[in-house]
Amino acid sequence: MAEFYIFNNGLMTENTMSGSDQRALNWSRIFSQHGHRVSVFTSAAGAVRFKPLGFTVCVTGKSFLKSNIGLFLVYLSRAIKSYLLQLRLSFEQDGVIYSSSDLLADAVPAVFMKFRKPAFKLVVGMHLIAPNPFKGFRKSHGAKGLRVPSLSNMYYFLFQRLLIFVLKKKASLVLVSNCSDRNFLLKRGLLAACTLVTYGACDASFEDAVLDAPKAYEAIYIGRFHEQKGFPDLLRIWKEVSGEFPDARLIVLGEDITARNIETLIHKYGMGSNIEFLGFVGGSRKYEYLKASRVCIFPSYYESFGIVVLEAMACGVPVAAYDLAVFSEIYSKGMLRAPVGDINSMARNIIELLRNDQKRRSISKEALDMSRQFSWGKTASDILRKLALS
């Protein structure tokens, strides 16, 4: 049996959970069930989730500064703290280092541990390929034209490219979320045997425990208030839908460092009575809200998998989304797609689902069937098999 050293330093509050965070939490639990020991380097917020599982938890920080520069400094401090905490550990003979993301806070201390313990296997999650910073998230799907790159996008792009160079020599396994991302890494020199597609999943224990409920809401959005997720489009889309259904209610589940800007946009579009912001909602309560909604709106411009889409489908909720290439690979049914950036088409799809109960029920059944193809257990087993630990 091996010791897994898991770096999951990106968590800022207990009220957030990215796809990488969900993977780290669920896979580490399954690794432990297979008899492997688990030690986790994580924030104070992450410790709340990992400690109840009985793992060794090394807390790397509490603070969170709500700005891009502040975020970078927090990540840097957690990377340094993770390295210092490593020096106190007495390592087992067989070890697996798992960086749950390609962020500085996870990848840098993981790579340092690999240099200190070269016999250990290094596994890195790279679940979102950074877009060209001169196009950004909104134009990465092929739209023409360039933009002035933001400092954060430039940093993310350059850091990821540097990490890819290091992983070509040091990684035992790089985990990606779709075949397109795998091909991207293969073209940049990673070996096919060291690059594994690991689809996401959702927590079936919560989904099964929640009873079906009356449809109290016309639509639901779950996610950050970021341009990658198409949140500005969401407000314009819902304004169109509200024109057809004046009493339609949209609930928004999520938090973001840009939340202060949302009130301005809501007032701009005059939709205060049509949208309800509930903040972060997790566990069974999230599934309760999903099952009480007729449609899940997912206007993202750039995705590698889309766990929110899967969670909605697992609740039998049709998804209205933009027609991203990755969805053709992963979600062949269970959603209506609009051309990327076409707000009117997206609104028409939602209106059609709200008007046509028969069509909504048909797509709902497709969505439910689609969701049953994904499992954390399957992907965890694939990882262990690749590492010769199953």
pLDDT tens, residue by residue, 58-99: 999 886 666 667 788 899 999 999 999 998 888 777 899 999
Q: Assess whether pLDDT exceeds 90 at residue 176.
A: yes
Q: Strands 56-59 and 37-42, how do they pair?
A: parallel
Residue 286 burial by Cβ neighbours in a 10 Å radius (0-12, 13-18, 19+)? buried
pLDDT > 90 fraction of the chain, expressed in percent and rounded: 69
Q: Please tell me the predicted confidence (pLDDT) of residue 238.
A: 93
pLDDT tier, 219 (very low <50, low <70, confident <90, very high otherwise):
very high
| pLDDT average, residue stretch 209-237 | 85
Q: What DSSP element (H or E) covers 125? A: strand 121-125
The residue ranges of DSSP E strands in 217-351, in sequence order, are 217-222, 250-253, 275-279, 293-298, 319-322, 335-338
Which letter, b or e, does each residue of 233-246 get, where b requires 16 or more Cβ atoms within 10 Å of its Cβ?
A: bbbbbbbebbeeee
Question: Which residues, other chains included, contact 87 with Cβ-Cβ below 8 Å and sequence gap of 6+?
Answer: none
Q: Assess whether pLDDT exceeds 80 at residue 130.
A: yes
For residue range 304-318, what is the model confidence (pLDDT) as tens digits?
999 999 999 999 999
pLDDT tier, 351 (very low <50, low <70, confident <90, very high otherwise):
very high
Asked if residue 186 lies in contact with residue 205, where contact means CB atoms within 8 angstroms, the answer is no
Give the integer Cα–Cα distance in Å for 388 and 162.
28
Signed CA dihedral, 72, 164, 186, 172: sign only: negative
pTM reported for the whole predicted model: 0.89
